[in-house]
Structure 1
Amino acid sequence: MKALVHDPNAPRQLSFAEVPDPEPTAGQALIEVAAVSFNFGEIVYRSPDTPYGRVPGWDAAGTVLRPAADGSGPPAGTRVVGFGWGGAWARLRAVDTAELAVVPDGVDLGTASALPVAGVTALQAVRRLGPVLGRRVLVTGASGGVGRFAVRLLALAGAHVVASVGGPARAEGLRELGAAEIVHGPEELTARVHGVLDNVGGGQLAEAFYRLEPGGVVQAIGKASGEPTVIDFERARVESPNGRLENFNVSTPVGGDLGYLLHLVETGRLAPEIGWRGPWDLAHEAADALVGRKVLGKAVLDLDPDR
């Protein structure tokens, strides 16, 4: 089958190649992939020790070609979206049925493919803040895939959302998603915040930590800046007493969370922000745009755009 594989000598360490079809385990369904979405982390932070020919990719949507042998999961012909720590960027993918959700008829598969990592990360991170009704919450890197989902989900939960972006152009559409304030870095905050969902790391994470209310919490989600974070805890003890910093990791399986997000999409309360969409033959263009901060939200690639 055709796949987009890890290639140390290619641009973005990606090239197309023919690879063997996946062999599902008893608890996996075989999916015919229709669309995939790119995430910043799987493009930038892929291990250099990854062998040539391995198929990367976390997010994919398509149709069940062969259901799981153990009887779990949906039957053949069902439209689904799924998650896994590899194997998405190919025409066929084996996915644990616990990591799958059925895509409603009214939801496009490309739209569904934008949900797994970014949408579930935002959903779980919002939950870990605890009750946010009427509370100020800062989202750094709010223009990216996770950030835009987080802004919308926080607004639905009743938070006063402060969206932090790198510049005016990156703020496009954030007010419509529910951002009450837009800033260009935590230094521009006019009041303290109950919680922070940080997608940037580095200096922004430290500055956000200093601006917590007493007992507030930061969820450290991503490191888009590529910079290490240095925190002066003496300053923090004075400025944000009892503030907490938690290292966020996605909890799996995600099938239930994907189902909930799809329900929000189906009912019109959530619309994944897709800033780049095209055929997967343009994968390098999509990766460059994502890494170059030219994509507002998610990048989606269609395997058979004319079908």
Structure 2
Amino acid sequence: MRALLVDRSAPAGLRLGEAPDPSPAAHQALVRVSAISLNFGEVRHGLENAPDGAVPGWDAAGVVIQAAADGSGPAVGTKVVTLGIDGAWAELRAVATDLIGVVSDDADLGAISTVPVAGTSALRALHRIGPILGKRVLITGATGGVGRYAVQLARLGGARVIASTGDPDAHGPSLRALGAHEVIAGPSALGEPVDGVVDMVGGSQLVDAYVRLAERGTLVAVGHATDQGEAFPYGAFFGDQGRHDRTVTTFFLLACHDLGPDLTRLANLVAAGELDPQIAWRGGWDKAAEAVDALLERRLHGKAVLELT
């Protein structure tokens, strides 16, 4: 099969080449991939840590060509969206059936390919905060793929949504169009405490956001775009300062269970036009290096989609 292979001598560390066809385990379906979406984390860290010749990739959408031998998962011919730790950037993907979502026949698989990491991370992070109807929820790094899904899902959940971005003047209109009630330049600009935070940035922004949590508020640390550590001031964790029971929780998507139903629900919302995948770049997989460079240089605000041709 053709695949995008890690090759550090090639532009962006990738080249189109040949790889062995995957051999599905009993609990895996074999999917012919139509489209993949790229995530900043996988191009920033995944490619850096993968050996030459590996087939990377987390997100892919396509059609089942071989059902799982154990009888689980969708039948042959079903359009699906898939998630995994690697193997997405290829013509064929063997994927566990609990990491497969079913897609309507008329769905745009390019748009659907944006769902797995970005959409499901946003959804599960909001679940960690708890019921959000009427609550104030801050999304940091709101212009990224996860952030844009989180803004939309928080608004659909009835929250008062505050989106944080480094350039509110430039990105404010698009974030408000997605459902943000307020757009600010960082947690330090908050006027009132918030009940929950989905943090995509880390570093000092995470610390600032935690300090501004209301009583019994929860911060979910999803992304770490700054590549910086967090230094909390003395007293930040005192419980007698009027805002006790505040929580910081870490997050790893593939440690979550039973993701298939979430993938299906989100894919259906995208297909129905109720969620906007916010595709900022779309092209053939022969242009992968261009998309990777744009992501790494922070020139894309949204998702990059590669279509297999």
Q: Taking structure 1 as the reference length, what is the TM-score of the superposition?
A: 0.94
Matched letter for residue 204 of structure 1: Q
Aligned residue for 2:46, secondary structure, equals coil
Q: How much has 1:172 moved relative to structure 2?
A: 4.3
Spell out the pairing of 1:178-217 with structure 2 (5 A cutoff).
178-217=179-218
Is the 2:108–2:271 contact (alpha carbons within 8 Å) kept by the matching residues of 1? no
Query: What's the secondary structure of 2:42's corresponding residue?
Result: helix
Cα distance, 1:169 vs structure 2: 2.3
Cα RMSD after superposing both structures: 1.6
- The answer to whether 1:153 aligns with 2:153 is yes
What's the counterpart of residue 129 of structure 1? 129
Q: Which is worse superposed, 241-250 or 203-212?
A: 241-250
Deviation at 1:277, TM superposition (A): 0.7
Matched, 1:23 2:28: no
Secondary structure in structure 2 of the residue aligned to 1:234? coil
Which runs of 5 or more structure 2 residues have no equivalent in the other structure?
Answer: none
What is the match of residue 305 of structure 2?
300
Residue correspondences, number: 304
Q: Which amino acid aligns with 1:59?
A: D
Structure 1 gap ranges (5+): none
Measure how far apart 1:236 and its partner are.
4.7
Alignment counterpart, residue 288 of structure 1, candidates 283, 293, 300: 293
Deviation (angstroms), 1:234? 1.2
Cα distance 1:177–1:298, how it changes in 2: closer, same or farther (>3 A)?
Answer: same
Deviations 1:145-194 (A, max 9, x none): 00000000000010000000111323341111110000011111111111
CA 1:27–1:66: 2 relative to 1, 3 Å: same
- Counterpart secondary structure, 1:163: strand
Q: Is the 8 A contact 1:210 1:236 kept in 2?
A: no
Identical pairs, percent: 49
For the residues of structure 1 that align with 2:290 and 2:222, how far apart are their CA atoms? 26
Correspondence for 1:244 = 247
Question: Taking structure 1 as reference, are residues 254 and 215 closer, same or farther at Cα in structure 2, changes over 3 Å only?
Answer: same
Runs of 4+ in 1 over 6 A off after TM superposition: none
What is the CA-CA distance between 1:49 and the residue it aligns to? Answer: 4.6
Q: Secondary structure at the match of 2:204?
A: helix
Distance 2:209 2:69 in 1: 48
- 1:23-102 matches, within 5 Å, as 23-46=23-46, 48-102=48-102
Tell me the secondary structure at the aligned position of residue 277 of structure 1.
strand
Deviations 1:273-304 (A, max 9, x none): 11111111111111111122222211111012
Output the CA distance in 1 between the equivalents of 2:11 and 2:245: 46
Q: Secondary structure at the match of 1:191?
A: coil
Per the normalisation by structure 2, the TM-score is 0.94
